[in-house]
A and B are shown apart, each in its own frame.
Chain A
Amino acid sequence: MDFDLGEQAASLRSRLRALIREHIADDYLGAFTHDPADLDVAQRFCRTLAEEGLLTIAWPTEYGGGGGSVWDQTVVREEMWAHHEPRGAQYMGLNWVGPAIMAYGTDEQKRQHLSAIAAGEVIWCQGFSEPEAGSDLAALRTRATPDGDGWRISGQKIWTSYAGMAQWCVLAARVGDGERHEGITMFLVPMDTPGITVRPIRSMLGHHHLNEVFFDDVWAGPDAVLGGVGDGWAVIRKALAHERVGIARYARCERLLSALGAELAPHWDALPASLHAQWARALVQVRVARLLAYRTVHAQATGEFPDVLASAARIAVTQCDQQVAEVLFQAVEHESLDAGPSAPLHGAIEDHWRYAQAATVASGTIEVQRMIVSKALLGGRS
């Protein structure tokens, strides 16, 4: 039994932190703020990471990646999220669009897309959820109809992160009259194709974050299909396999909780004792969430497909995110209503609370995770 991630991970972590210190301001809160310059910072940082060979450190070497381990990937995921994801929207292309194209793409698709993702030049969005297909993704109704040698796509997607800034969309649509998983097909569609309309959804998350995307008779050529026609469900499952562990929310939680005492000093000692206790409990919860995530990564590293473990980790990680958000808000009291650089921890506490509200919904609701865990527990006895 050994919980040391090893010298390689420690060295990678140091390198990433040095780059972040050099290129990212202390008060950076991610790419999706009022200030468009923040998106530029993220785009530049992605190119820097690409030049350093760190952007695709976990990709196989045959696709220009670093051939890194899942533990390298974990360190990157942690450091990026802890520092407000300075890769902006590009993590999606790196974490699963790229790997899905590696697994299912044609040579032409690989040539066209992989090098662009690896260079940090392209933002992808994911057209999965629909108004009537959220947790039940297989209920999707966006339709692709054959037209000549290509397709015409019509339908509506929703909760689409980064759609307003993305150059490409990986889109799930149904071909034919099948139901559930039957006929679902993945398309790679440029977002500037005529017939695509993006409408931002006002939300408590950052600007540009959530969107509706309307597809009105959008043309897609025969080369737009990723995987076979009707094989979309397999592609999605493969894609999601790369996202099993999910966002390393615990890393930011830990960073903020750790910085809280110094931020509030000398007021810290005057906080109610019950709040000190909540703070200590939150640190323990964060550690537990991290350890559950590590158990999942360990299973991945040993060639397992740990669906149940991953769901357990997601439940712990997302609940911990919300718990920490509340402890931080309790600690800063009335200043919780302030935002921006003059707010506590440069606004990071306020930003964290808003994002944490969606933690138990994003990338699979906590209810779906509970269904997966309880099904495994009961083993068909329910």
Chain B
Amino acid sequence: MNPVLPDEATEFAAAATKAFAALGGVDAARRAEDDPTTRTTEVAPALAALGIDDLDPRADADSLAAAAALCEAAGRVALPYPLPSVLLAPGDGRPMAVVPDGRARVNHGDLFGEWRVVTLDGRCRAAAATQGDRLATRLGPFVADLTPGDELGDAASDRDLHLALTGWQVLGTVDRAVELAVDHVSTRIQFGKPISAFQAVQFQLADCAVAVAGLRELACYTLWRLGAAPDRALADVLALRAHALDVARSVLRTCQQLHGAAGVCDEYDISVLTRHVQPALRLPWSAERTVTELAGVIARDGFDGLFPHGGAATG
């Protein structure tokens, strides 16, 4: 029993964090909103310098852990790039994304002409994008609707990996949100003292920290499950997604609230993080849809994992 990420993954994440800081941290996301081409001219070269072209999360457990840690680092700064999708490109060459039935809506879909898109049932299709065609909204600045094409067969394992890596990206965002809230309440003076002196503030922070700590453990466990039981991990990755979405909803709300009015101002990182994580939270499915699917999968397959308590299947 060892719930700790391998050192190689931690070291890779540290290098990525340094590289993303050199891009300006969350400023890279702000710049990309003003000029979306910076995703190609600034972010992509930085990722290439980190060696992501040689990182295949399917290769082995260490590579998957490194990919996850990289996605977490990206989530901490709302890195404007579809990392989980690109990390799953090796082999086919086309980035892949999990999409809802009937609509191939993908974050940063405009960045590449050809995609692979996978639905919950594991079926994969080709999909095409029109360059520069983006929603360009406040909550989906880089989201694009792709045009589905030919069937490409089964990609259930890539579906699971994509959901897991997106969970890690969300983990990075919420972890950073708590840090930002801690910094803010420690320096914001009201009634003559830092607002962190108020127990109402302290308790909200504590609840956020516990929620993020729990999500981190679940994210680590899910990675391990993907290696230990790759054919039976759908319930595990759906559980991670469902929990990540639940944690994000409450933690981001609290951390914004603790920033006061600044929480909705883009001058503050918390606002940009909250906006830019929305595609990961809403695509391919909302929390409620995810939980409904999870309940069905558990009822069919059980949810024991390695914790033998008799099986949670209802049949």
Task: Show the binding face of A for B, using Cβ within 8 Å.
Answer: 1-6, 10, 13, 71, 82, 251, 254-255, 257-262, 265, 268, 273, 276-277, 279-281, 283-285, 287-292, 294-295, 298, 301, 309, 312, 315-316, 367, 369-371, 373-375, 377-378, 381-382
Contact = CB atoms under 8 A, between A and B. Distances in A.
Contacts of A294: 1, 3, 217
B6 to A, nearest CB: 6
B214 interface: yes
Contacts of A373: 206, 209-210
A349 B3 CA distance: 32
A126 B209 CA distance: 32
Interface of B: 1-6, 61, 65, 178, 182, 185-186, 194, 196-197, 199, 202-203, 205-207, 209-210, 213-215, 217-218, 220-221, 223-225, 228, 239, 242-243, 246, 288, 291-292, 294-295, 298-299, 303, 305-315
Contacts of A1: 2-6, 61, 65, 220, 223-224
A82 B309 CA distance: 9
Contacts of A291: 3, 214, 217-218, 220-221
A146 B217 CA distance: 52
A265 B314 contact: yes
A296 to B, nearest CB: 10
A259 B313 CA distance: 9
Contact of A2 (B2, B303, B309): B2
Nearest to B239: A284
Nearest to B212: A312
A288 B243 contact: yes
B307 A295 contact: no
Given A1-B61, A261-B299, 7 more contacts: A2-B1, A3-B3, A276-B299, A287-B303, A291-B218, A298-B4, A373-B206
B314 A287 contact: no
Contacts of B224: 1-3
Nearest to A378: B196
26 contacts: A1-B2, A1-B65, A3-B1, A3-B221, A3-B306, A4-B306, A251-B309, A261-B312, A276-B295, A276-B299, A284-B242, A287-B307, A291-B214, A291-B220, A292-B210, A292-B214, A315-B210, A370-B202, A370-B206, A371-B199, A371-B202, A374-B209, A377-B182, A377-B209, A378-B202, A381-B186
A316 B214 contact: yes
B213 A312 contact: yes
Given A3-B224, A257-B312, A289-B214, A277 B288 contact: yes
B210 A312 contact: yes
Contacts of A284: 218, 239, 242-243, 294
Contacts of B225: 3
B298 to A, nearest CB: 6
A382 B217 CA distance: 28
A66 to B, nearest CB: 18
A255 B307 CA distance: 11
Contacts of B223: 1
Among all A-B residue pairs, the 4 with the closest Cβ atoms: A261-B314, A291-B217, A374-B202, A280-B295
A277 B178 CA distance: 28
A288 B314 contact: no
A312 B212 CA distance: 10
